[in-house]
Amino acid sequence: MDNLRDLYPSRLERRIDAFKRLDPVIYRKPDADEGPLSPEQMAFYRDNGYLYFECFLSEAEVAQLFSELTALSEDSSLRHAEDAVLEPDSGELRSLFAMHRHSEIFDKVTRNPRILDMVYQILDSDVYIHQSRINYKPGFKGKGFNWHSDFETWHTEDGMPRMRCLSCSITLTENTEFNGPLMLIPGSHRYFVPCTGATPDDNYKTSLQAQQFGVPEEDDLRWLVAEGGIVAPKGPPGSMLLFECNTLHASNANMSPFPRSNVFFVYNSVENALQAPYATRNPRPEFLGSRRIETLTPGS
């Protein structure tokens, strides 16, 4: 493959033990100009791999986003789009990718200066949107998602070479212990956990409904949870979670009558452009891993 040496081998036939990450978590130099995150917040992110901000957006901002979310979910034409993923049993919309291209309102959120300033402080470079999506989890019918590291998938299937990337998730409905909130393993981002099993062609067509490849082995999950525990940030609409690209996370099925809808957008450093995928013959489609580096300008 015409790309850089594979520093994070995965999807192999034989098991490789987990090893400490080879990249920084915080790229900003300690003596650099200060940003919106305090030294304590930066240290927490470095050690745990996430930060949670309850009620980050105002009620008015949430109302506008929720209205747009509803409009997109009711657009029947989107159910047949390549970047829409349906629930395997009910046929309801599970995820809509490239949401910043479907909606000017969501595109504006990705350029929110309050968010971008935090991202710059952590990644210390200009950034672009690697991936964006809306995750719908309807009451009673919303399925869960297995434990995984986003970076492991983006590395093996998209060709993301290094861990210089992070995700932002904003809740548009209340996230409770009952409706399948996102769960994270604090500190798991400090290790890369290789996964076994060769990835089939066009794996994304099934993995977006139920992930089978790129899932850590149970023994690895046990020791990581024994070391860091599990957290599930919960809170009202408009709360925001920033989490490092290699932090292991998952979510349970929504067994409650209360829907759970979140928007995600992934910021990747412009210095971390995608190469050829490391474990598949062909890269995933543009809506899953963008190869168009369009540098974000705050507020534009």
The predicted-structure confidence for 33-47, as pLDDT tens digits, reads as follows 789 999 999 999 999
pLDDT score, position 1:
39
Coil/strand/helix, residue 172: coil
The predicted-structure confidence for 52-70, as pLDDT tens digits, reads as follows 999 999 999 999 999 998 8
Angle at 268 between CA 55 and CA 52, to 5 degrees: 20
Output the pTM of the full model: 0.92
pLDDT score, position 214:
79
Q: What is the DSSP letter of 155?
A: I
pLDDT score, position 284:
92
Q: How far is CA 94 from CA 83, 137, 298, in A?
A: 11, 6, 29
61-68, Cβ contacts within 8 angstroms, sequence gap of 24 or more:
61/238, 62/172, 62/237, 62/238, 64/105, 65/105, 65/106, 65/109, 65/170, 65/172, 65/263, 66/172, 66/173, 66/237, 66/261, 68/103, 68/105, 68/106
pLDDT score, position 289:
94
pLDDT score, position 88:
66
Weakly modelled stretches of the chain, pLDDT under 70: 1-4, 87-92, 202-213, 300
Q: What is the DSSP letter of 293?
A: -
